Amino acid sequence: MSIRRLNTQQPDFAAKFSELVAVDSSVDPEITRRAEAIVQDVRARGDEAVLEYTNRFDHMDAKSVAEFRLTEDDLKEALETLPKDQKDALTQAAQRIREFHEHELGQSWSITEEDGTKLGIRYIPLDSVGLYVPGGKAAYPSSVLMNAMPAHVAGCKKIVMVVPTPGGKPNQLVLAAACLAGVKECYTIGGAQAIAALAYGTETIPAVDKIVGPGNAYVAAAKRYVFGTVGIDMIAGPSEILVICDGKTNPDWIAMDLFSQAEHDELAQAILLTDDAEFADKVAESIDRQIKGMSRKDIISASLNNRGAIIVTRSIEEACKVADTIAPEHLELSVQDADKYIDQIHHAGALFVGPYTCEALGDYCAGPNHVLPTSRTARYSSPLGVWDFQKRMSVLKVSKHGAEKLGRIADVLARGEFLTAHAASAMYRVHDLEKK
């Protein structure tokens, strides 16, 4: 292992740091082209195209798209037949995630003015949502909970899941999670063809209003393409953790926290910031020692060697400033008196406060969502939440007297914009009052 070591006091820190956190957001044009061709084909030919692509890419031999359909009963059965420890853990996680997300529900409101004019915002659940779940090894039941539960809590009646089964057999934990998160309808299809089916609908698969969930480069390209026809969620980059530690946490804990991000993906990024140079050495030593026992040690090593870093800072305050420039997806504040640093962090997807709050607890079961902004987008975006599945509608009801007052203002401003029909429309309501 040779994890990068930096110090904010070294003269070339700024340059080295920029290199470390550079984001490669390039998109392969060939993948985009192929994904778009598949989407257009499914849009044109519907079920027939979905069937062909699924049989070809997932090595299936189905005669109709109906064969890919799983019913609510299939999902229930998956849950009921899980080993008890898994069923219990999944059920408890689902309940905690549901309860937390219920606090996120937006409430309609209105204000009534003295003249009777009433103005407000209505919150309305989306009618239908599509949930993409990757197949194979990256099929994460926790992601099913995290993506579907906010839609379920928002009140979306139709949540349609798609999940490819290249091996022919669906992951039972994934189906069980879907059952717990309110999914009623599922198709074992994937790739750009599944995104197209959800965006435009086919004879068998219903069109939805929004598609969420992670996928490979083809899925991401297909989502970008159908955006506008349907809503989409963020397109996630590689996962990131940044740990700020004052040297008072067990270095083995910190090393393992870094591993827990690095094991996702060779492109994942795990960074430690500490104001304690000796502690930095201890964590480096712990990394070298603990890596040997890890089942995914090749991925972890690649991630830490390529994109990991241990950075010594002048202070915890400085570490918070550095963290803000990274705007990491996950940020652990593993320090004593962690509370007092919370307000120094402005950009992060989720903040894990204190040594007991390791990221893994948030990934699975604490309650808040684990779908978080990556690649510095935490500067302007937010965790997935109920807010992504409720839309808002302005509601205006202007009284007769209100129309007189507002009409005169609108008249002046509309004429200032040379929009005379706007002015006339407003003034009709003003004159109506004057007549009486």
Smallest distance, Å, CB 57 to a second copy? 23
Using a 10 angstrom Cβ sphere, with 0-12 exposed, 13-18 middle and 19 or more buried, the burial of residue 153 is: buried
- Binding-site member from 124, 277, 337, 340 for a second copy (CB under 8 A): 124
Please tell me the count of residues contacting a second copy according to CB under 8 A.
118
Binding characters for a second copy, 347-386, by CB under 8 A (x = yes): -xxxxxxx-xxxxxxxxxxxxxx--x--x-xxxxxxx-x-
Binding characters for a second copy, 411-430, by CB under 8 A (x = yes): -xxx-xxxxxxxxxxx-xx-
Asked whether position 340 contacts a second copy by CB under 8 A, the answer is: no
Sheet of 69-70, strand order: 69-70, 185-187, 158-162, 128-132, 210-212, 231-232
Residue 374 contacts residue 329 (beta carbons within 8 Å) = yes
What residue numbers does the annotated binding site for Zn(2+) cover? 261, 264, 363, 422
What residue numbers does the annotated binding site for substrate cover? 239, 261, 264, 330, 363, 417, 422
Contacts 24+ apart (CB under 8 A), 289-293: 290/252, 290/255, 290/256, 290/259, 291/1, 291/259
Name which of 181, 232, 176, 173 is nearest 39 in CA terms: 232
Secondary structure (3-state) at 64 = coil
- Binding-site member from 53, 68, 100, 187 for a second copy (CB under 8 A): 100
Site for a second copy in 46-75 (CB under 8 A): none
H or E segment to which residue 119 belongs? strand 118-125
Site for a second copy in 190-219 (CB under 8 A): 209-210
Question: What residues act catalytically?
Answer: 329-330
Say how far apart CA 83 and CA 88 lie, in whole Å: 9
- Binding-site member from 17, 53, 140, 341 for a second copy (CB under 8 A): 140
Site for a second copy in 146-185 (CB under 8 A): 173
Smallest distance, Å, CB 35 to a second copy? 17
Asked whether position 137 contacts a second copy by CB under 8 A, the answer is: yes
Asked whether position 20 contacts a second copy by CB under 8 A, the answer is: no
Residue 171 contacts residue 139 (beta carbons within 8 Å) = yes
Asked whether position 341 contacts a second copy by CB under 8 A, the answer is: no
Residue 172 makes CB contacts below 8 A (sequence gap 6+) with 78, 81, 82
What residue numbers does the annotated binding site cover? 132, 193, 216, 239, 261, 264, 330, 363, 417, 422
- Binding-site member from 17, 53, 253, 279 for a second copy (CB under 8 A): 253
Q: Which two tokens stand for residue 173?
A: 């934990």
Using the minimum distance from each CB to a second copy, give the nearer residue, 289 or 392. Answer: 392
Asked whether position 262 contacts a second copy by CB under 8 A, the answer is: yes
Say how far apart CA 72 and CA 54 lie, in whole Å: 22
Using the minimum distance from each CB to a second copy, give the nearer residue, 69 or 391. Answer: 391
Residue 384 contacts residue 231 (beta carbons within 8 Å) = no
List helix spans (H) across 201-276. 217-226, 251-262
Asked whether position 300 contacts a second copy by CB under 8 A, the answer is: yes
Smallest distance, Å, CB 197 to a second copy? 17
